Chains A and B, each alone.
Chain A
Amino acid sequence: AQKVTQAQTEISVVEKEDVTLDCVYETRDTTYYLFWYKQPPSGELVFLIRRNSFDEQNEISGRYSWNFQKSTSSFNFTITASQVVDSAVYFCALSERGSTLGRLYFGRGTQLTVWP
């Protein structure tokens, strides 16, 4: 079973629109960590955020914000006033504290295209 589901395969928006990328996860651990990574066309993986399961406060960093809802097992990512440079594949990932020794489970990614 998928531990991390990103149901949106591709999203296209026009510059300055807000866009939300969905992430739903599944785990039996009570302590776990959630991540978002950005993969621009150049191919590298850029770390964006890490949240632990005990901290449900939403976080804002510039135009980026994250909404963590344990009740729905979701960790959604919103980009406000999107820009062309935001075009990339975005991955949500889960790390469990239990037996899986720090490995990351990735979703399949959401390809975001921002048009000028």
Chain B
Amino acid sequence: NAGVMQNPRHLVRRRGQEARLRCSPMKGHSHVYWYRQLPEEGLKFMVYLQKENIIDESGMPKERFSAEFPKEGPSILRIQQVVRGDSAAYFCASSPKVGEGNEAFFGQGTRLTVV
């Protein structure tokens, strides 16, 4: 049973470009969470999605950031017009259930560097 798969592992973008980060949840998991880890900080929640629905996006910056989890295919975190401050590790986690303390299974993260 493959774990949570994130790609790419490393992504370099110039300021103003778009970054697309992909996350394939574990088989049978329909809940996906995105977290951001800025340098020297813990992980901060960004968005929680179920298939075709954004459930909670309270941690997402208001502009330039969007997320989706289509019926088919991976979840996508999209950052438009990237700036240096977007440089961070972005982790995706998936879970089979909500609210039952099922530990979220994390991917290996995508390290975004904006130059």
Q: Which residues of A contact B (CB under 8 A)?
A: 4, 6, 32-33, 35, 37, 43-45, 47, 50, 52, 91, 95, 97, 100-109
Interface residue from A4, A43, A100 paired with B108 (Cβ < 8 Å): A43
A43 and B109 contact, Cβ closer than 8 Å, known pairs A50-B103, A102-B99, A103-B48:
yes
A-B contact count (CB 8 A): 64
Question: Is the beta-carbon distance between A102 and B42 smaller than 8 angstroms?
Answer: no
Minimal Cβ-Cβ distance residue in B for A95: B101
A6 to B99, CA, bound (A): 24
Does B45 count as interface, using CB distance less than 8 angstroms?
A: yes
Distance from B1 Cβ to chain A, minimum over Cβ atoms (Å): 15
Question: Is the beta-carbon distance between A45 and B106 smaller than 8 angstroms?
Answer: yes
Question: Is the beta-carbon distance between B109 and A33 smaller than 8 angstroms?
Answer: no
- Chain A residue numbers with a CB within 8 Å of B98 are 101-102
- Chain B residue numbers with a CB within 8 Å of A50 are 101, 103
Per-residue interface assignment for chain B, residues 69 to 108, with 1 indicating a CB less than 8 Å from any chain A CB and 0 otherwise: 0000000000000000000010101010111111111101
A52 and B111 contact, Cβ closer than 8 Å, known pairs A45-B91, A91-B43, A101-B56:
no
- Chain B residue numbers with a CB within 8 Å of A47 are 103, 105-106
Question: Is the beta-carbon distance between B103 and A101 smaller than 8 angstroms?
Answer: no
A43 to B78, CA, bound (A): 21
Distance from B43 Cβ to chain A, minimum over Cβ atoms (Å): 5
